[in-house]
A and B are shown apart, each in its own frame.
Chain A
Amino acid sequence: MSERAAPGTAASASAVVDVPLWRRPRVRGIVYQAVLCLVVALLAWAAIANVSENLARANIATGFDFWNVTAGFDISQTLIPYSAQASTYGRAFWVGLLNTLLVAVLGIVLATVLGFLIGIGRLSHNFLVSKLCGGYVELIRNVPLLLQLLFWYNAVLKALPEIRESVALPGGGYLNNRGLFLPDPQIAGGGAVALALVAGIVLAIGFRALHERIGPLGRGRGRTVVSTLLVLVPPLATAVVVGVSVTFAYPEMGRFNIRGGLEVLPEFVALLTGLSIYTAAFIAEAVRAGLMAVPKGQTEAASALGLRRGAALRLVIVPQAMRVIVPPLTNQYLNLTKNSSLAVAIGYPDLVQIFTGTVLNNTGQAIEVVVVTMAVYLSLSLATSALMNWYNAWITPAER
């Protein structure tokens, strides 16, 4: 116990030196870390040795040569040209990735809209509306997503009438157990309009930035009106000048199938419905927590200023709540993207179904395929959270 002498006495300086080497925190730390690194390295080495031995025995190739081999299987939904005879496994990978992105992006949009409505509805003064929204959240959150997807696909969409008894939708679409058939918009000269739209958005962002830099260029509504005009006028003007025509290719009811139009797979409908409804419940909770985190005084101050409830929400509450809402919202977007991998349960051709399913089974190259899949999801996660962090920094009002 002598080395625990009171600090400041003559003994303490020499006592520290007397501590045996293995008792010094620094030395211990280095030893612990060295041991840990050694163990991890040994495990990795053993695993790699086992892998090469196992692969050699099972006669499985290694490396990414399979990437350029012809795939030879069909995919039911392709956003880029793909054919079983001519396209490679690499092409199939991109088809799957694009399908995943398609369902994730659409799901995020739908889930956000639904989630905000329900989250705000839960705090409504209307008794029935708040109970309905509460019930929705409670029910949806407590049932596994996989079960919900199976329900939408097997119990709802598969139970729809057959082609001959298709449900005719208003506007010329059909709904049956083979999917959703919608009029396909054919836009001539759409490229120029899209370009003009992008230009308009850039102009509007520039206007807002200028506005913030050199002070008010217009008050309240005026600013919104100018921004909206900047976004809307260029594409409309281009449309008038170039002469855009939009025609719809309507789906036609044949004897045994439906020809033409935009065919949406039932798997896609089920996956999108399930993901949006499930994630919306979690987004609603995040929105509710965010709104409740704004002090009550803010609501009272807003109503003392004479703002109605809608205006108070839009101008006072939501802007402050957003910085509380955005981090959990980011998490939910990531979850939705990751959960889209459950597509494999109902056979929607997403990245996991095509790549980790079919390609893995055909090539047997488990390690390459699983590592590539994980890398893709990891980069998607990192990209989404980087984007949302930037958005959060942008919307957070400057703190005084």
Chain B
Amino acid sequence: MTDLAAGPESHVAFVRTTPAPHVARPPLPGGPLHWVRANLFATPLDGALTILVILLAWWTVPPLLDFLIFDAVWSGSGRDACLPSAQNPDPGACWAFVRTWFSFFIYGPYPLAERWRVDVFFALLVFGTAWMLWLDAPRRDLGAAFFFLALPTVSFVLLRGSTTIGLEVIDTALWGGLLVTLVVASVGIVVSLPLGILLALGRRSTMPAVRLLSIGFIELVRGVPLITVLFMASVMLPLFVPPAWSPDKLLRALVGIAIFASAYMAEVVRAGLASIPKGQYEAARALGLGYWRMLALVVLPQALRVTIPNIVNNTIALFKDTTLVFFVGIFDFLRTIEIARVDPAWATPVTSTTGYAFAAICYFVACHFMSRYATGIERRLAAGDRR
């Protein structure tokens, strides 16, 4: 090449005038065999691990599928259906038991004739949640007002009942199952978000008394197990108020959950507030906005937006923690399963496992989709940052 570039007078021995023939490209290292070698048997250790995992799957997956699906009993009216018999010598999960008790798992001992009220509550909750979670929904401010103000009030009147509007009063001792789980979780969110924002602001405040009180509350609650907070709410709260008030069991548990959730939410919101550049605060001040207007118009909309994934993750943790109301005598979803699984009419060796499997599937599906949503939002926010 350098010869050619040197000029026409230099001697050129050979210049090719016809294009070289096409040669098929060499085979890329591809195909299933290569994939297997690169991803499963790269080193001797990898190979051994692969074989170990395959063996593990061989030992666990088919029996699990047999138990959950192929050998499972899908219908029946009593324990006999799920006991070993001639056609089914080794019965799997007793789904007939779950089907029989299903409405108890959803409503608990809530009176049969009034269960439409629970259904309406579920519908309202789904509507409000969807409005809040769909980031491009119209009028999300209205949605927030609905979720944080209208929904709690309407739900309380609806579920509890009120003689003035002709709804029979139903004592909270009769609430149970999924209903209570959702009530506890949604009260936790509805209370903890505003309270958590206030606590987070308090913790970042320049006023020493406000800051110290906020830090003390947050660290105290985060340093102890939820179960002790619930015990505190359940045995100490009645002592703290005049005897005439005497809060009922569910309310005490809700107070405990709200206190606990607020402390954790405060830390989540604090991280969001910390991620807002100082310039945003200064710009808002320069525009002449006061403290609350600066927060409402400039800081919080940005801070809460980046915090959504963490808020959802916090909600997942809270949703799982609602099972702990079990200890203060509330019939939540898990408790109804605990009650049903010892029912003598369904006493079989597989009843407990079936009940737990059903509960695990329900919790898993709910939490899994929440965390998928959080990951999706995170990715979307990250994409927005890149632009």
Q: CB within 8 A of B228: which of A126, A147, A377? A: A377
Residues of A within 8 A of B39 (CB): 125-127
* Distance between Cα atoms of A246 and B308 in the complex (Å): 58
Q: Which chain A residues border B368 with CB–CB below 8 Å?
A: 138, 142
Q: State in angstroms the CA–CA spacing of A39 and B323 once bound together.
A: 34
Q: Which residues of B contact A356 (CB under 8 A)?
A: 227-228, 231
Q: By the criterion CB–CB under 8 Å, are A370 and B232 in contact?
A: yes
Q: Is B50 an interface residue, CB under 8 A from the partner?
A: yes
> Which residues of chain B (355-382) have a CB below 8 Å from chain A?
356, 359-360, 363-364, 367-368, 371
Given contacts A142-B364, A150-B356, contact A128 B207 (CB under 8 A): no
Interface residues on B, range: 35 or more
Residue with the highest number of chain A CB atoms closer than 10 Å, among B56, B226, B327: B327
Q: What CA separation (Å) do A51 and B240 show in the bound complex?
A: 5
- Select one of A150, A341, A366 contacting B236, CB under 8 A: A366
In the assembly, what is the distance between CA of A159 and CA of B209, in Å?
56
Q: Mark A357-400, 1 if CB is under 8 A from B, else 0.
A: 00010000011001001100110011000000000000000000
Residues of B within 8 A of A32 (CB): 207, 210
Q: Indicate if B32 sits at the interface (CB-CB under 8 A).
A: no
Decide yes or no whether B120 CB sits under 8 A from chain A.
no
Distance from B39 Cβ to chain A, minimum over Cβ atoms (Å):
4
Pick the most buried of B53, B54, B227: most chain A CB atoms within 10 A of its CB. Answer: B227
For B240, list chain A residues within 8 Å (CB): 47, 50-51
A338 at the A/B interface (Cβ < 8 Å)?
Answer: yes
A303 close to B (CB within 8 Å) = no
Known: A129-B49, A144-B323, A373-B228. A378 touches B223 (CB 8 A): yes
Q: Which of A32, A139, A144 has the most CB of B within 10 A?
A: A144
Any A CB within 8 A of the CB of B277? no
Residues of A near B243 (CB, < 8 A) are: 53-54, 57
A142-B242 Cα distance, complex, nearest whole Å: 41
Q: Does B208 contact A (CB under 8 A)?
A: yes
Q: Does A113 contact B (CB under 8 A)?
A: no
B residues at A contact (CB < 8 Å): 38-40, 42, 46, 49-50, 53-54, 56, 206-210, 213, 220, 222-228, 231-232, 235-236, 238-243, 316, 320-321, 323-324, 326-327, 334, 338, 341, 349, 352-353, 356, 359-360, 363-364, 367-368, 371
Residue in A closest to B288 when the chains form the complex, CB atoms: A4
Distance between Cα atoms of A144 and B317 in the complex (Å): 9
- B344 vs chain A, min Cβ distance (A): 16
B53→A128 contact, CB < 8 A: yes
User: Is A79's CB within 8 Å of the partner chain B?
Assistant: no
A70 lies within 8 A of chain B by Cβ: no
What are 24 A-to-B residue pairs whose CB atoms are below 8 Å? Answer: A40-B213, A50-B239, A124-B46, A128-B40, A132-B53, A141-B367, A143-B360, A143-B364, A144-B321, A146-B326, A151-B356, A154-B356, A155-B356, A159-B353, A341-B225, A352-B228, A352-B231, A356-B228, A366-B236, A367-B239, A370-B228, A370-B232, A373-B231, A374-B224
What is the number of contacts between chain A and chain B, taking CB atoms within 8 Å? 149
Q: Which A residue's beta carbon lies closest to that of B370? A: A142
For A40, the chain B residues whose CB sits under 8 A away are: 213
Q: Are A126 and B213 in contact (CB under 8 A)?
A: no
CB distance from A38 to the nearest CB of B (A): 10
A360 neighbours in B (Cβ, 8 Å): 231, 235
Query: In this assembly, does A339 line the interface, its C-beta being within 8 Å of a C-beta of chain B?
Result: yes
List, in ascending order, chain B residues with CB within 8 A of A142's CB.
316, 363-364, 367-368, 371
Contact A146 B232 (CB under 8 A): no
Assess whether A114 is interfacial by the CB under 8 Å rule: no
Interface size class of A (residues with CB under 8 A): 35 or more
- CB pair B238–A54 under 8 Å, yes or no, is yes
Cβ-closest 4 pairs across A and B: A142-B367, A33-B209, A366-B235, A338-B225
Picked from A128, A139, A147, A374, the residue with its CB within 8 Å of the CB of B232 is A374
The answer, yes or no, to whether A249 is at the interface (CB within 8 Å) is no
Residue of B nearest to A54 (CB): B239
Q: Of B49, B349, B363, which contacts A147 at CB under 8 A?
A: B363
Assess whether A144 is in contact with B209, with CB atoms less than 8 Å apart: no
Contacts of A124 in B (CB 8 A): 46, 49
Contact of A51 among B210, B226, B239, B356 (CB under 8 A): B239
Alpha-carbon distance A342/B321, docked complex (angstroms)? 11
Nearest CB of chain A from residue B181's CB, rounded to whole Å: 10
- Given known pairs A47-B240, A125-B46, the reply for A345 and B53 (CB within 8 Å) is no
Q: Is the CB of B364 within 8 A of A139?
A: yes
- Please tell me if A172 contacts chain B, counting CB pairs below 8 Å: no
The smallest C-beta distance from B124 to any residue of chain A, in angstroms, reads 25
Is B235 a contact of A377 with CB atoms below 8 Å? no
Given A40-B213, A126-B46, A142-B364, A29–B206 Cβ distance below 8 Å? yes
- Within the complex, which residue of B42, B225, B360 is in contact with A126, where a contact is CB–CB below 8 Å? B42
Contact of A36 among B40, B54, B213 (CB under 8 A): B213
Contact indicator B327/A344 (Cβ below 8 Å)? yes
